[in-house]
Amino acid sequence: MSEVPCDELMDFVLERSELFSRLDPETINNIGKKCDLVRFNRGENVFREGDRADYMYVIGEGEVAVFKVVGQGEHELMRLGVGSHFGEMAMISSARRNATIRAMSDLLCVRMNETSFNALMESEARFAQRMLKALAERLRDTDEAAMQDMVLAHQALSFSLAKLADSRDPETGGHLYRVREYCVLLSELLRNHPKYADVITDSFVENIYLVAPLHDIGKVAIPDGILLKNGKLTDAEFEIMSTHTLLGAEAVDTVLEFCDFELFHMAKRVILGHHERFDGLGYPRGVMGEAIPIEARIMSLADIYDALLSERVYKRAFDYQETRNEIRAHSGSRFDPVMVEVMLDHIEEFEDIHRKFSEGAKDHSSVE
């Protein structure tokens, strides 16, 4: 980043912005005195998610992209070009940056610090009116995103409940984290497949990251004598265990009475459908093929992939090659065959996640 001292260029950039356009030259000049010009190289971050909000920016040349962290990677939300402004909302609310802004080309911006911005809001009525209008439009256009803080707060509570269910279930450490990462990775890979390109959106990936840990939330209602049994379940016990899908879905129904958001609808579909099978022999409803919601099919593959690699009281942990073979063997019967194909084409990435999130994991490196 470098500063560029030039009053005339400053005024030119401000006049091209909708926020400042049609203000008289004297006002533009006064505003320009409170700003400076900065350049960023292509690929350089203007600021990062979580940074303190100390400047707002107006783009004079170039383009930026807005990124948010989801899972292990960043996901591009939108791009902004010449005349666009950004950074003011976090500054007004004294919040940390909720996204990363990165220069996608060599970039020139007018930059205004927090002190100058606040002084301008108090002294220039027309600027304050424009800013109010701009904020209202942005809130209207991003209404769903504006609810994300509340959604994340609920998700944090839900994750705590999910961990409670997981702690009562004799599974290896890190299961919730691994499954969440598998789901995000598989979703990202599937969005590049022509069959799913129009279905899996940025919002889908963000939502599945949030809801994946809830898939077994219904297990909190399963009796310890069944959930913690040191051995294979009887048929009667399995019938009781299988109700965790229905119990979990009922819990989400309670949430939906108050918060009718797509996030929670997805959570219900995942909870209810992740034990269904592609051949229709799963539970609780015996749904078949693509009638099973896509997010539930993703979760089914992710959940069983992790189970195969994990030690249980009734089985040893499979190595990586055995797990690949088992997944391949159940393509089209237990699993969506397209999803199996995509997973196996990128299986090393799933194995990397398993290694990363396996605390004290055994060596699973036996592969062809």
pLDDT value of residue 224: 82
Please provide residue 234's backbone torsions phi and psi, each rounded to the nearest 5 degrees: -75, 170
197 shares its domain with 271: yes
Model confidence pLDDT, tens digit, residues 157-183: 566 556 655 655 555 458 888 999 999
Whether residues 195 and 332 share a domain: the answer is yes
- Region of poorest pLDDT, from 32-46, 58-72, 157-171, 297-311: 157-171
Element (H, E) at 46: strand 45-47
Q: CATH no. for residue 217?
A: 1.10.3210.10
What residues have CB less than 8 Å from 214, skipping those under 6 apart? 158, 159, 161, 162, 248, 252, 267, 270, 271
| Structural domain ending residue among the three candidates 89, 124, 145 | 145
CATH number at residue 102: 2.60.120.10
Total domain count, the chain: 2
Domain C-terminal end among 103, 128, 145? 145
Q: Tell me, what's the pLDDT at 117? A: 81
Percent of the chain with pLDDT over 70: 79
Task: Write out pLDDT tens, residues 300-323.
Answer: 999 999 999 988 777 889 999 999
For residues 294-298, average pLDDT: 98
Last residue of a domain, one of 145, 175, 198: 145
Residues 43 and 177 in one domain: no
Any catalytic annotation for residue 219?
Answer: yes
The answer, yes or no, to whether residue 212 has pLDDT greater than 60, is: yes
Cβ count near 286 (within 10 Å): 11
158 shares its domain with 90: no
State whether 352 and 243 are in the same domain: yes
Identify the burial level of 134 via C-beta atoms within 10 angstroms of its C-beta, where 0-12 means exposed, 13-18 middle and 19 or more buried.
middle
The confidence score (pLDDT) of residue 160 equals 54
Find the range with the poorest average confidence among 17-31, 52-66, 86-100, 255-269.
17-31
Q: Are residues 263 and 339 in the same domain?
A: yes
Tens of pLDDT, residue by residue over 251-282, are 888 777 766 788 889 999 999 999 999 999 99
Cβ-contact 328, 368 below 8 angstroms: no
Are residues 170 and 123 part of one domain? no
Whether 126 shows a pLDDT value over 60: the answer reads yes
The answer to whether position 368 is within a domain reads: no
363 belongs to a structural domain:
no
Q: Within this chain, do residues 134 and 152 fall inside the same structural domain, yes or no?
A: no
Domain annotation covers residue 233 = yes
What gap in Å lies between CA 224 and CA 303, rounded to an integer?
21
Residue 191 falls inside a structural domain: yes
Domain membership of residue 269 as a residue range: 147-356
Average pLDDT over residues 52-57: 88
Q: Is 63 a residue whose pLDDT tops 70?
A: yes
Residues 11 and 84 in one domain: yes
| 229 belongs to a structural domain | yes
Q: Based on the domain organization, do 35 and 131 belong to the same domain?
A: yes
SS3 153: helix
Catalytic residue, from 219, 232, 315, 356: name it: 219
| 151 vs 130: CA distance, rounded Å | 30
Instruction: Pick the more confident residue, 92 or 236.
Output: 236
